[in-house]
Chain A
Amino acid sequence: MIKKFIHQFASPKTYLYQINRAYKYIFYSSLFIYTFSLIWGLLFTPEDFVQGNSFRIIYLHVPASFLSQSLYVAMAIASVTYLIWRVKLAAYLIIAIAPIGAMVTFIALSSGSIWGIPTWGTWWQWDARITSTLILFIMYLGLISLHTSFSNHEKADKLLSWLVIVGFVNIPIIKKSVDWWSTLHQSASITLTDRPSIDPSMLYPLIGSIIGFFGLIICLVIISSKVQIIKRESTKSWLKDYV
């Protein structure tokens, strides 16, 4: 049963039809959650006891940073799927996710810089967390430009998947950088093991903003994957019917 479902979903055609049905539900619910959490976090949450109002940028910075790593994990899963099972849809997803990953990483870096000016007194320092995130951003850009530089799509897909797997080593480094080395960036406020070191009045809108932002970015990935499918399957007859 499950196997059959996965097999069906792996075909770009079923994927396209299913995703079109689900799209508006994902979009409106996550738009609602993100707007709600933003209004809650920006207007109805008390100030931080040292940072004052400038802490409120976490409602953008934390979701973006979380997504910048999650999207890479998603690319890595898609790469493994493509390399082992040669599922074409997985290859389309890798290149569909890459530009969105780059965008989200850029948001994470720039919002962090903006927060850094009033908090640290500087907008850029070469500490382990900031540098490893910059490497992630450059990796996304590299993967995109690599893929576009090939005229042979299949070759590009394979090389891209291998590089995504090689670069995956950066993800645990970003995550653990604040624990392994002394950094200017603070360590994690929310962990799986300990009680969050962020007050509940700030934590609940933060969790909401992460969920909402996640959904909105998923919507972008869906749109971008549709573009990839239409680009790559343009010769197929079912696509002509679809369009």
Chain B
Amino acid sequence: MNPIRKKRLSSILFVFLFSVSGVSLILYSLNSNLDYFFTPTELKKVQMPPNKRIKIGGMVLEDSVKRNTSKISFTITDYENSVIVVFEGIVPDLFKEGSGVVALGYLDNEIFYAKEVLAKHDENYMPPNLDIKQ
């Protein structure tokens, strides 16, 4: 490579390095603010102001879903800590016990009042018959 091209290459690397370091500083300072939801364990660590709208996510604990007319209550867990969620409305089709869920709402006296419940799908794709085998 001749010197001019070498110089161009180093300036490209320099610009790219600048862009990477700038963006990583931003991402580093935003840190957990970029998280889409809190896990129940994270929720326990931070002091959440009451009635602040947040999202919590985790798994629906087995045998925790209770339906009462249009009201539904269930427990979101990360298998360390868990939060009881109360929700009035229609849950997505993929909502079921033992699968991922994200709830949007606010925490009040250890009970989470959800305004919206979303199902979180995992990365596993398989036909139904294989599920029985496993």
Give chain A's interface residues, CB within 8 Å of chain B: 45-51, 55, 58, 80, 83-85, 118-122, 125-128, 162, 165-169, 173, 180-184, 186-189, 197-199, 201-202
Contact = CB atoms under 8 A, between A and B. Distances in A.
B131 to A, nearest CB: 4
Interface stretch (B31-39, B45-53, B61-69): B31-39
Nearest to A188: B123
B12 interface: yes
Given A58-B125, A122-B118, A197-B125, 7 more contacts: A50-B94, A50-B121, A84-B5, A119-B121, A125-B118, A182-B57, A198-B125
- Name the prevailing secondary structure of the A interface residues: loop
B80 interface: no
Nearest to A128: B34
Nearest to A130: B36
Contacts of B128: 46-49
A166 B126 contact: no
A135 to B, nearest CB: 11
Interface string B20-56: 1001000100001011110100000000000000000
B96 to A, nearest CB: 8
Interface string B113-129: 00011111111111111
Contact of A166 (B16, B95, B99): B16
